[in-house]
């Protein structure tokens, strides 16, 4: 019989929080506004008292990468101060915390996949505030598992897959950046990994299972190749794909700089928890099938 673990999740509307709430191995209560303001320590204390003894998962984040360049204080309040408050309250309750971070803490200049001990060098306000959040978690709760992930997507909400399918319905041609590389991560796979980690931490409390870990989909691909795969899967469901044209990052300037290489080495999480990466194409096929029931096509003629 599967043991269901009680998990107090800070964050409610994001795709990760919703995936944790759906996960069959977790009895997750997702806490968001108006009942909790993660930047207010007293508010976090009150909210987490609702589930005394549960492991805390901090999925609250300011994720508007480009808007953060104009709103650094707002990003810092959630990504750094919110993380510090979550870690402190969990520590006061003698509970572990699982905190989520990003590939954007790296500058993307490394030739191979990033390991957890590689130096951080964020290029954007978003990356800088997420890296500050990591440090805040480490400083406030030694019983932490920080999970860096990359290119997260879901069958619901706003993400790269959803944006591609929406834009593909609206336009006959899409120009996609082809010189940024990473590992697409299906949010349901990440939630499964969290369930394994949470159960293990509660059962063993092994200090070797604390620290920083990388988890993402298996394999590395460019954003252009990812888009090609999205539309190839969509075509299986009657979707009429647009023409895709590869471009460079320089041809598609954005307020925030993105790392050219977001590949993450996931060896450590496999060694500590036995968690294996699912091939990203397998996960993408499942996601698109959930988004596009058979016969739902693309653009109108």
CA-to-CA dists, residue 152 to 126, 155, 204, 275, angstroms: 15, 11, 29, 17
Q: Which of 57, 27, 19, 56 is nearest to 192 (CA)?
A: 19
Give CA–CA dist 88/95, Å, rounded: 10
Cβ contacts of residue 178 below 8 Å, gap of 6+? 222, 223, 224, 225, 246, 247, 248
CA 1 centroid distance within chain: 29
How far is it, in rounded angstroms, from Cα 105 to Cα 150?
11
Residue 146 — φ and ψ, nearest 5°?
-95, 125
DSSP string, 37-94: -TT-HHHHHHHHGGGTTPEEEE------TTGGGT-HHHHHIIIIIIHHHHHHHHHHTT
Spatial contact of 164 and 244, defined as CB atoms under 8 Å apart: no
**How far is the C-alpha of 262 from the C-alpha of 265, rounded, in Å?**
10
Cβ of 18: how many Cβ atoms within 10 Å?
Answer: 21
Q: Of all helices (H) and strands (E), which one includes residue 97?
A: strand 97-102
Q: Is the dihedral of CA 131, 101, 30, 48 positive or negative?
A: negative
Has 62 been annotated as catalytic? no
Annotated catalytic residue, options 104, 114, 126, 239: 126
Q: Which residues of 97-110 are buried (b: 16+ CB within 10 A; e: fewer)?
A: bbbbbbbbbbbbeb
| Catalytic (active-site) positions | 126
């Amino acid at each position: 019989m599967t043991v269901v673990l009680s998990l107090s999740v800070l964050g409610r509307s994001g795709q990760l929080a919703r995936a944790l709430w759906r996960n069959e191995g977790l009895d997750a209560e997702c806490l968001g506004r108006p009942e909790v303001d993660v930047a207010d320590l007293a508010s976090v204390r009150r909210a987490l008292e609702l589930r005394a003894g549960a492991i805390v998962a901090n999925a609250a984040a300011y994720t508007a990468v480009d808007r953060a360049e104009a709103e650094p204080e707002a990003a810092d309040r959630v990504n750094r101060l919110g993380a510090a408050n979550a870690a402190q309250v969990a520590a006061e309750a003698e509970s572990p915390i699982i905190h989520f971070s990003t590939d954007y803490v790296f500058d993307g200049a490394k030739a191979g996949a990033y390991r957890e001990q590689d130096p951080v060098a964020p290029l954007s306000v978003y990356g800088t505030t997420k890296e500050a959040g990591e440090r805040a978690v480490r400083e406030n709760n030694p019983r932490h598992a920080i999970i860096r992930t990359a290119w997260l997507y879901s069958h619901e909400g706003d993400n790269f897959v959803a944006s591609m399918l929406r834009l593909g319905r609206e336009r006959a041609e899409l120009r996609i950046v082809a010189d940024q590389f990473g590992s697409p991560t299906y949010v349901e796979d990440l939630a499964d990994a969290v369930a394994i980690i949470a159960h293990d931490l509660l059962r063993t409390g092994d200090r070797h299972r604390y620290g920083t870990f990388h988890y993402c989909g298996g394999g590395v691909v460019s954003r252009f190749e990812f888009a090609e795969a999205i539309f190839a899967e969509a075509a299986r469901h009657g979707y009429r794909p647009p023409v895709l044209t590869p471009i460079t990052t320089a041809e598609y300037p954005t307020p925030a700089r993105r790392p050219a290489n977001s590949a993450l080495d996931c060896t450590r999480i496999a060694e500590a928890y036995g968690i294996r990466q699912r091939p990203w194409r397998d996960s993408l096929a499942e996601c698109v099938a959930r988004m596009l029931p058979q016969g739902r096509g693309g653009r109108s003629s």
